[in-house]
Structures are given as C-alpha cells and as structure tokens.
C-alpha cells in the first residue's frame, strides 16, 4: 500500500498531514455503506436496505456533525483537530462530496434497484401509470384517510412561513385565484402529518399481480386541488428540512437532568436549519424562496430525483412475500455449557461463558436477569442501561425483580443520542416499580455495559456478572456483532461492584483487580501496553497489536501507534467507521494496516489484543472506542479474558476479519478506501459468513 506522497521519517508526529479529518472519514464510511447497494452478491431487498441506511446515516451526519461545524463557524469558536482543517474548509469539502454521493444514491435507486424490484413484482406505481380503478381507489383513500388530517397553510402577512419540524415531509404549493377572504398570495405550505404512512399498498385485486404501492406524495400531488377549494393549484413540490438535533445542555447549570432533557428534546425538533432537500423539478424561484426562509445557501441545497424522505421505505425491505430477496435467516446458537445445565448460575459458577452475538443467542443474557428476578436467593441486581428500549425483556426482568422485593439499582444514561426519550420512559417505569434509578454522572456519559447479581449461597454472598461490548437491546443483538461475558470470577465481580459504588455513591476511584475503566485507568493502560510492544520490537522480540473498534480518532493514541510502527510493531486495525490515522506512510505508519468490514451485521464489538512477548498475551473486550470522548469523558469498562481457550477463540475470530477478502475495505494513506477482492490464487473469505457457519446451529445439541 503506497502513500500518495511518502513522508520523511523525521516528520513530527503531531504534523497535521498525518491525520485524516474525522467528518470526512465518517463520510467515507457512509459511502462504503452505499456501495453495498451495488453489490450483486447481496440479496436485492438487502441492497435497498443499505441504500436506505445510507440515507439514515446522512440524516444523523447533518443533524450532528454538520450542525456542529456550522455552530463553530457561527460562534467563531472553531475546534481545530489534529488534521488542522478549519470548520469552514470541512463544510466546503463535505458539501462537494455529499452532493456527488446523493446524486449517485438516487441514480442507483432509479436506474438499478427500482427496475430490479419491478422485475420481481415489487412496484411503486407513478401517477401516469394509474389505471382508472387505481385512480378511484386513491381518491377514496385520500378523502377518507389523508384530507381529514392534512392542514394546508396559506402564506400572507397574517400567516407567516410556519415553523416546520426536523425531517418532516412538506410541500410548497403555487396557487391561482382568490380565496374567500380576498387573499391571493399565491403560495401555501402543506405539511404531511407524521401519522400518515409514506407508502401505501394498492389492494391486490386492483393490480395485475405482485406487490404494488403508491407514495403518499403522489396522492397529495394528485389531489392537491381538493385541499384548496375554489382555487387552482399550479404546481406542488415536496421538500424536507434537516435541523440541528444535537442537545446543547450546559451540565454545570443543570439541577434536574431529566427535566432539562425533556425541554431539550422538544427543542431538538426545531433546531437551526442545516440542509434543504427539494424535488429536482421544483422551479428555481421556489427553491430560492425556501432557501431564504431557512437562511441557507446553495451549498446546503440538495435537489433529489425521487422521494425526499427515503428512510420511510424501510418497511419494503421487510417484505415476507419475497424471501429470496432477503438474507437467509439463521438461528443464533446457545453454547453447550448452558444447554447442559439445569441452573444458569451453576453453569456460570463452573466456567465463564463467552457469547458472540448475533451468531450466538442474546437469550442467555436475558435469562440471566430474568432468573435473577425470580430466584429467591438473589438479593440485589445492579445494571447499567445505555440503549435498551422501554419495553424490552431486560427492563421487564428488572421491573419484576423490584416488585419481588429485590434491591434493584439501575444507572440509566439519559443522554444516549436519539434514545433520550425512550430512556426517560424506562426510567419512569423502573421508578414506578420501586427500583433505584440513577442518571449517571454529569459531564460523563455512562457507556459501560454491566449487570451484577448478588446471590446468597449456603450462607455466603456470591456475585455473578454480565459484561458486554454492546447494549442491552435484544433487537440490536440480532444485527450488531458484540461480545458478552457471563462470569462468576470473584475479582472481576468485585471490580464491577466497585464501579457501581463510584457511579451511585461518592468517593475516590478505587484501585481495580483486573478491570480497566475510563476516565481513570483505561487511557494510561492502553498507552503502556502500546509502549510495551514498542519496547519489545526495539529489543528484537516479536510484537503485534490487533485492535477492533468502531472508531479511532484520538490523536494521542494515534501518535502512540505511529511510534510503535516506527519501532517495527506490526499493527492490524479493524475500524468500522471513522479512522483519523493514515496508514502506509513511509517511516511513520508503514507497519500499520487499517481495514473496515461492511456486511450483513454491523461490526460493533471492541477487542484489544497485545502479543506481549516475554509475558502472557493480553486480550481485552471493552465498551470503549478509541476516541477522546470514550477515553476521557465517558464511564467505560474494559475487561480481560484470562481463560486460554477463550483467548485462542477470540484470536481466531479476529483472524477471520484479517483474512476477509470479500467484504473488507483497506484504508489508503490519502483517506480513501479500496475494497479487497480475492486474488487468482486465493479462496474467497467472508468473515461474517464464516463466523455464522462456525458459531451457529451446529453448536446446539438436540
């Protein structure tokens, strides 16, 4: 892998040329997701899903990343990261890339996916192809379901431009004529209620076969005249506004976090405008009018050839009538150690149990808490929750435990982005059941994934625990790759107990037996382990670092990795999303390879491996990515695997990712990614499929 312009070995490691801008790196990840929509080895509806995930990712990118950059510019408070790029420069580059990729996205949709779906009998019927029967059905549906809940807003001096909610579907309408009050402004806004589906299936008896739909926008276009009685609709065009959705609470001024958060959630719907999407056939004078209303410039305008709210098409990807167009379903396995045991706690007491979701079932984690709730010998349960959903089985178990008289303490991170409202609801539900609910630490998000059970066994109090790299969300556990450890290890359970005491009570950070935790010991320990590999390489000993995370943006960690690479340490980084490190720079990072795996599952697990020649190799599982926020501003847990068999297993699983030559993308030193392809003398290796084959149903004994 050759860099565009090799850097001399003497270059300072804080030189901005050695770092990739984090927002531009995030864009590269989104582009890799979009590329999956073109992969013909992926089933057709799954390809559509990847295209829609790109839309969803870009929504969040604008709501958070772009909004943050615009705020820095507006308040003249630029944050200059290690890459040295000014916010205004980043915004200009983002606009250039995103305009190109959005145009490409709609081209893929219109020219590739929709025709392929039509060949499979899945059609989205445009107005010009409506039969008389479909037109009559649309009219009846519009009059019965749409017209009663739509509220057109005429624009004049008494009716200024309305405040439109974030990402809502709206129409700008040009009118001719004079209304009952003598108004003739000629413009109106028609918001589409969120309660209405954006895609409506045509009754089968009205079609020639297959699954056919019409868009709500087509219905509104066809019957806009009916909403403005006595006037003529000259034109009607859809648009959507994206707003700043980042919460801006000043933690120093918050007396009641829950109350403050409720106020911020309402404000999120009406934050500053950051992007305007408009149908590409909208006349320039109307586009300009909308830009002026939202105080946006041409770079913030995106003209699209299709629906402006593509994420509402997700329902189509779940069609059960076309199973051959979706991934073949599989049943996650349950390990033998749990199947053979009558008691979950006895099984965990005999040996630790490691699970790799979604290939292995999340059910044992739910059962761990459910049985703790029902077991008379269990006295207390302590749990952290970041994302779970208010109606999850995990929360059901905690509610049951509290109602059964057990001491239940739950540390809920209310500020988990876009899950704040759900977390407020589950906090209320747990409090109503009698659980003690703690909202974490102001200024430090609680991101650790921990559950602790205290059980009386033969007049002795025994602790059992679950630790994970992912969230307590059963739905995510079917889609995300994450590790879970069920353990009765005394020292590890004592460490978890100490961490809960820090979170719930007050006091100095207590020394841990084996667990590393942010913001206290994790950064220092990681740096020391990197330095140890560097020292071993300089001494002529074998050295190797393998890291699997979702993001690598912390410049201090990157500099440490650069120094290790210069010393000769082989470094393999598996980074799904943002990576600010530039690999392959001569004399700096030529011993570092960075790959991203994009596939059926979202790669979410965090694994840190250090060869540690001369001592025992070290392998950790963690909740933390290698970002400044994770290492310095969050409560994170990092725990070692000590069982040799488990270490070998996880190393082999890491090896599958390092051998992947079908779904792996290699980061180049210029910040771009190249997808690997099997060489003529290589067998294809698809890591996710191999892990599914290895860890799936063959492990189950019937």
Instruction: Say which CATH number the domain at 694 has.
Output: 3.30.870.10
Any known ligand binding at 57?
Answer: yes
Is residue 470 situated within a structural domain?
yes
DSSP code for 581: B
Is residue 456 situated within a structural domain?
yes
Q: How far apart are alpha carbons 86 and 89 in whole angstroms?
A: 5
| Residues 523 and 502 placed together within one structural domain of the fold | no
pLDDT higher than 50, residue 6: no
Question: Are 450 and 470 a contacting pair, CB within 8 Å?
Answer: no
Domain of 644 in residue numbering reads as: 517-699
Any known ligand binding at 576?
Answer: yes
Is residue 21 situated within a structural domain?
no
| Residues 492 and 355 placed together within one structural domain of the fold | yes
Give the pLDDT mean for 463-476.
94
pLDDT higher than 80, residue 101: yes
| Residues 397 and 482 placed together within one structural domain of the fold | yes
Is residue 79 situated within a structural domain?
no
Q: What angle do CA 332, 352, 448 make, to 5 degrees?
A: 80
Q: Which of 513, 528, 561 is the last residue of a domain?
A: 513
pLDDT higher than 50, residue 457: yes
Give the pLDDT mean for 694-701.
56
| Residues 295 and 171 placed together within one structural domain of the fold | yes
pLDDT higher than 90, residue 413: no
How many domains are contained in the chain?
3
Is residue 614 situated within a structural domain?
yes
| Residues 592 and 695 placed together within one structural domain of the fold | yes
Q: How far apart are alpha carbons 701 and 423 in whole angstroms?
A: 38
> Could you report the per-residue pLDDT of 64-93, keeping only the tens digit for each?
999 999 999 988 888 889 999 999 999 999
Is residue 238 situated within a structural domain?
yes
Percent of the residues in the chain that have a pLDDT greater than 90, as a whole number:
76
Question: Are 671 and 26 a contacting pair, CB within 8 Å?
Answer: no
Which residues, in sequence order, are CB contacts of 563 under 8 Å at separation 6+? Answer: 13, 530, 534
Question: Are 4 and 669 a contacting pair, CB within 8 Å?
Answer: yes
Give the pLDDT mean for 304-325.
93
Give the pLDDT mean for 658-683.
96
β-pairing, 211-215 vs 199-201, is: antiparallel
Which residues, in sequence order, are CB contacts of 323 under 8 Å at separation 6+? Answer: none
Q: How far apart are alpha carbons 557 and 542 in whole angstroms?
A: 21
| Residues 288 and 353 placed together within one structural domain of the fold | no
Instruction: Report the phi/psi class of residue 441: left, alpha or beta, with left for phi > 0 and alpha for psi in -120 to 50.
Output: beta
Q: pLDDT at position 387, please?
A: 81
Q: How far apart are alpha carbons 578 and 552 in whole angstroms?
A: 6
Q: pLDDT at position 5, please?
A: 44
| Residues 180 and 300 placed together within one structural domain of the fold | yes
Any known ligand binding at 198?
Answer: no
Is residue 52 situated within a structural domain?
no
| Residues 233 and 343 placed together within one structural domain of the fold | no
| Residues 160 and 289 placed together within one structural domain of the fold | yes
CATH of the domain at 155: 3.30.1840.10
User: Please, what is the end-to-end C-alpha distance for the chain in angstroms?
Assistant: 49
Show which residues are catalytic.
447
Is residue 473 situated within a structural domain?
yes
SS3 assignment, position 655: helix
| Residues 228 and 346 placed together within one structural domain of the fold | no
Q: How far apart are alpha carbons 287 and 280 in whole angstroms?
A: 9
| Residues 522 and 490 placed together within one structural domain of the fold | no
Q: pLDDT at position 266, please?
A: 53
Any known ligand binding at 524?
Answer: no
Q: 390 pLDDT band (50/70/90 cuts)?
A: low
DSSP E strands, 443-522: 445-446, 449-457, 460-468, 480-487, 516-518
Mean per-residue pLDDT over the chain, rounded: 91
């Amino acid at each position: 892998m050759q860099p565009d312009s090799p850097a001399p070995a003497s270059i300072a490691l804080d030189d901005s040329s050695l770092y990739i801008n984090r927002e531009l790196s995030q864009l590269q990840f989104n582009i890799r997701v979009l590329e999956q929509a073109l992969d013909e080895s992926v089933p057709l509806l799954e390809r559509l899903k990847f295209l829609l995930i790109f839309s969803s990712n870009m929504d969040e990118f604008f709501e958070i990343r772009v909004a943050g950059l615009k705020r820095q510019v507006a308040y003249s408070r630029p944050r200059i990261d290690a890459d040295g790029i000014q916010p205004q420069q980043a915004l200009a580059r983002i606009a250039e890339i995103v305009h190109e990729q959005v145009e490409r996205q709609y081209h893929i949709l219109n020219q590739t996916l929709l025709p392929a779906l039509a060949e499979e009998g899945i059609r989205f019927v445009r107005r010009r192809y409506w039969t008389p029967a479909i037109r009559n059905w649309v009219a009846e549906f519009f009059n019965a379901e749409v017209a009663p809940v739509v509220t057109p807003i005429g624009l004049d001096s008494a009716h200024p431009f309305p405040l439109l909610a974030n990402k809502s579907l709206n129409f700008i309408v040009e009118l001719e004529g004079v209304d009952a009050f003598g108004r003739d402004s000629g413009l109106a806004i028609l918001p589409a209620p969120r309660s209405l589906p954006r895609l409506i299936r045509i009754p089968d008896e009205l079609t020639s076969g297959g699954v056919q739909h019409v868009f709500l926008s087509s219905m509104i276009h066809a019957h806009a005249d009916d909403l403005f009685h006595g006037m003529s609709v000259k034109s009607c065009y859809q648009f959507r506004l994206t707003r700043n959705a980042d919460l801006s609470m000043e933690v120093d001024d918050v007396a009641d976090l829950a109350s403050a958060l409720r106020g911020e959630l309402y404000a999120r719907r009406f934050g500053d405008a950051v992007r305007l999407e408009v149908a590409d056939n909208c006349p320039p004078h109307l586009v300009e009018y909308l830009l002026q209303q939202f105080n946006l410039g041409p770079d913030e305008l995106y003209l699209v050839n299709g629906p402006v709210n593509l994420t509402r098409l997700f329902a189509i990807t779940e069609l059960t009538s076309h199973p051959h167009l979706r991934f073949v379903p599989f049943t996650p396995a349950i390990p033998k150690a749990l199947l053979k045991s009558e008691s979950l706690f006895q099984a965990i007491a005999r040996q630790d149990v490691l699970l790799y979701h979604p290939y292995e079932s999340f059910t044992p984690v739910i059962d761990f808490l459910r049985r703790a709730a029902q077991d008379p010998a269990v006295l207390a349960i302590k749990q952290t929750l970041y994302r779970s959903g208010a109606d999850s089985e995990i929360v059901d178990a905690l509610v049951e435990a509290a109602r059964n008289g057990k001491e239940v303490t739950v540390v809920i991170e209310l500020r988990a982005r876009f899950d704040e409202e759900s977390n407020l609801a589950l906090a209320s539900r747990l409090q109503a059941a009698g659980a003690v609910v703690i909202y974490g630490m102001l200024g430090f998000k609680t991101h650790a994934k921990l559950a602790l059970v205290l059980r009386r066994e033969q007049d002795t109090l025994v602790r059992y625990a679950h630790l994970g790299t992912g969230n307590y969300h059963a739905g995510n556990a079917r889609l995300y790759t994450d590790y879970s450890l069920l353990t009765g290890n005394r020292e590890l359970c004592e460490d978890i107990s100490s961490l809960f005491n820090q979170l719930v009570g007050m006091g100095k950070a207590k020394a841990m037996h084996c667990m590393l935790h942010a913001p206290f010991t994790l950064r220092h320990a990681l740096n020391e382990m990197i330095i140890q590999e560097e020292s071993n390489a300089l001494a002529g000993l074998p050295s190797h670092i393998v890291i699997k995370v979702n993001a690598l943006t912390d410049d201090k960690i990157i500099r440490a990795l650069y120094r290790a690479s210069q010393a000769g340490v082989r470094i393999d980084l598996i980074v799904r999303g943002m990576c600010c490190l530039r690999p392959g720079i001569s004399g700096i990072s030529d011993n570092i390879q960075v790959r991203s795996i994009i596939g059926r599952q979202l790669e979410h697990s965090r694994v840190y491996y250090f060869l540690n020649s001369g001592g025992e190799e070290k392998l950790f599982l963690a909740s933390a990515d290698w970002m400044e926020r994770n290492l310095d501003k969050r409560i994170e847990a990092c725990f070692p695997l000590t069982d040799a068999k488990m270490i070998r297993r996880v190393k082999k699983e890491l090896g599958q990712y390092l051998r992947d030559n079908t779904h792996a993308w290699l980061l180049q030193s210029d910040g771009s990614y190249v997808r690997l392809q099997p060489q003529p003398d290589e067998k294809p290796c698809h890591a996710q499929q191999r892990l599914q084959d290895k860890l799936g149903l063959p492990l189950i004994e019937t």
